[in-house]
Amino acid sequence: MSRRRQIAAAAAVVLAVAGCFALGRYGAYLVHAVAISAIAALGLNLLTGFAGQISFAQGALVGIGAYTAGNLGNAGWGAGAVLAGGVAGGVASVVIGLPALRLRGLYYAIATLAAQFVLEYLFKIVEPLTRGISGMNVSPLVLLGRTVASDQAYAALSLALLAITWAGLQRLMHTNVGRSFLVVRENELVARGMGIDVVRVKLWAFLVSGFVTGVSGALVAFTTRLATPEAFSLQLSVDQVAMLIVGGQGVWAGSLLGATFVVLVPEAIQRAGEAFKAANLLSASREMAFGLLIILFLVFEPRGLAALLRRLGRALSRLVASRASRASPTPAALATSRYPATGGSREKAH
């Protein structure tokens, strides 16, 4: 990114964060719900979109972050609790990845599935740390001696953390660790031949992605003020995968687009359901839309909304250009990325 664009992006973030305080309660709630999901989706995008490892354990990792941060927050920790949530998520993510480290991606997917179920079970069982099925109450976050209580403040905080995560991950992709992710995604054999320590690279991917996901979990705990096993079930893992597909893999903006879509559409459907008193059918149609969207995107637009919007932008600018007969610049596309995910060819795992 050029210096000028960096400054523009930073200014936009500052404006957006400040703007959160002008929102109503419901608006602020929507902002932090989307931002927190987007942070976890960035973590999953790093792992799946950039490093090529599909994970079904996102839900459990968010839970690890939430329970860690919740317990520490209740014990009087402030910002440290959020950080600790990230660290716990990172460590858990590495532990989950260990069994499948030397195997192909498919085995990693199954290992994460196993981890999701085992962790979900532990959330219910280890009552001293999780309060079991009834859930754990979490006291509000204390930052710099002040209690963060309002939805507006959480919206601002979540947006700021989203921006920091995004910038950090983007930066990571411009180091050799990040570049190695891409080579491992494309072809592990070539990566090894190039002298890349594939095991180490995967560990990095697990660690960073788990950290980011754990931070998101910490924010979940503090905004919902309650951590229950149900909130971190396979459903959440699947939602996260859906965000990735709908938004676009291997494109950072895709995580935000996907999170926006996956969080807001059910919200809208629920509102409609309340209005028409047809909750059952509507929750079914929400799921149906979900399944169909995943399939349709994967079949027809594997690069997700990010690519779709970019193409739309181009078409629009061409239209404008031809109308106005003078060349207008392409609108700054939301999704400018050098790394479209067109991962390794299908191969049988041995």
Partner 1 sequence: MALAVRDVSISFGGVVAVKGMGLDISEGEIVGLIGPNGAGKTTFINCIAGTYQPSSGTVAWQGRELRGLAPHAVIRQGVARTFQNVASLHDLTVLDIVKLGAGARGGASPRDAARAFVRGEAELEAELHEAVLGPLRLSPIAAQPIQTLSYGLRKAVDLARALASRPRLLLLDEPVAGLTAQEGRQMAGVIREVRDRTRCAVLMVEHKMDVVMSTCDRIAVMAAGAKIFEGTGAEVQADPEVRRVYLGEP
Partner 2 sequence: MLLLQIATAGIATGSVYALIAIGIVLIYKCSGVVNFGQGGYVMLGAYAAYALTRLGLSPQLAAAGAVLILAAVGALTELLVLRRMLKAPVVAVMMVTLGLLILFRAVCLAIFGPDQIAFPQIFPQGAVDIAGIFITYNYVAAAVLSLVLSLAFLAFYRYTPMGLMQRAAADNSRAALAVGIHVSNQVSVAWAVSSALAGLGGVLLATLNSLSLTLSSIGLVAFPVIVLGGLTSLMGSLVAGLLLGMLEAFTDGLLTPALESFLRAHTSVYSVGALQQVVPYMLVGAMLLVRPQGIFGQRGTERV
Which residue of 281, 315, 319, 320 would you call a contact of partner 2, by CB under 8 A? Answer: 281
Q: Is 77 helix (H, G, I), strand (E, B) or coil?
A: coil
Q: Which of 334, 258, 216 is CA-nearest to residue 49?
A: 258
Beta strands in the chain (DSSP E): 136-137, 142-143, 146-147, 226-227
Q: Is 170 helix (H, G, I), strand (E, B) or coil?
A: helix
Residues 172-231 touching partner 1, rule: CB under 8 A, are: 172, 174-177, 179-180, 182-183, 186-187, 189-190, 192-197
CB 247 within 8 A of CB 115: no
CB of 285 vs partner 1, minimal distance in Å: 38
CB of 295 vs partner 2, minimal distance in Å: 4
Q: Which does 115 bind (CB under 5 to 8 A by kind): partner 2, partner 1, none?
A: partner 2
Residue 295 or 315 having the CB closest to partner 2: 295
Q: How far apart are CA 131 and CA 228, in angstroms?
A: 8
Q: Which does 195 bind (CB under 5 to 8 A by kind): partner 1, partner 2, none?
A: partner 1
267 near partner 1, judged by CB under 8 A = no
Which residue of 238, 265, 308, 333 would you call a contact of partner 2, by CB under 8 A? Answer: 238
Q: Please choose, out of 14-22, 165-173, 188-196, 217-225, the segment that lies near partner 2 by the rule CB under 8 A.
A: 188-196
Q: How far apart are CA 89 and CA 207, in angstroms?
A: 8
Residue 186 or 267 having the CB closest to partner 1: 186
CB of 5 vs partner 1, minimal distance in Å: 15
Residue 90 or 304 having the CB closest to partner 2: 304
CB of 98 vs partner 2, minimal distance in Å: 8
Q: Tokens 């939430």 sit at which residue?
A: 66
CB 68 within 8 A of CB 85: yes
Q: Tokens 């972050």 sit at which residue?
A: 65
Q: Which does 179 bind (CB under 5 to 8 A by kind): partner 2, partner 1, none?
A: partner 1
Residue type for position 173: M
Other CB atoms within a 10 A radius of the CB of residue 131 amount to 19
Residue 192 or 225 having the CB closest to partner 2: 192
Q: Which does 175 bind (CB under 5 to 8 A by kind): partner 2, partner 1, none?
A: partner 1
CB of 178 vs partner 1, minimal distance in Å: 9
Instruction: Please measure the distance between the N-terminal and C-terminal CA atoms of the chain and give it in whole angstroms.
Output: 41
152: tokens are 């507006």
CB 105 within 8 A of CB 90: no
Q: How far apart are CA 25 and CA 165, in angstroms?
A: 25
CB of 339 vs partner 1, minimal distance in Å: 6
Residue 36's Cβ-count burial label (10 Å; 0-12, 13-18, 19+) is: buried
Question: Rg for the chain (alpha carbons), in Å?
Answer: 20
Torsion of CA 40, 204, 116, 113, to 10 degrees: 110
Q: Please choose, out of 1-9, 77-85, 258-266, 293-301, the segment that lies near partner 2 by the rule CB under 8 A.
A: 293-301
Which residue of 13, 29, 74, 117 would you call a contact of partner 2, by CB under 8 A? Answer: 117
Q: Which residues of the chain form contacts with partner 2 (CB under 8 A)?
A: 48, 52, 54, 98-100, 102-103, 105-107, 109-111, 113-115, 117-118, 121, 124-125, 127, 189-190, 193, 234, 238, 241, 245, 249, 280-281, 283-288, 290-295, 298-299, 302, 341-350
Q: Which residues of the chain form contacts with partner 1 (CB under 8 A)?
A: 171-172, 174-177, 179-180, 182-183, 186-187, 189-190, 192-197, 338-340, 342
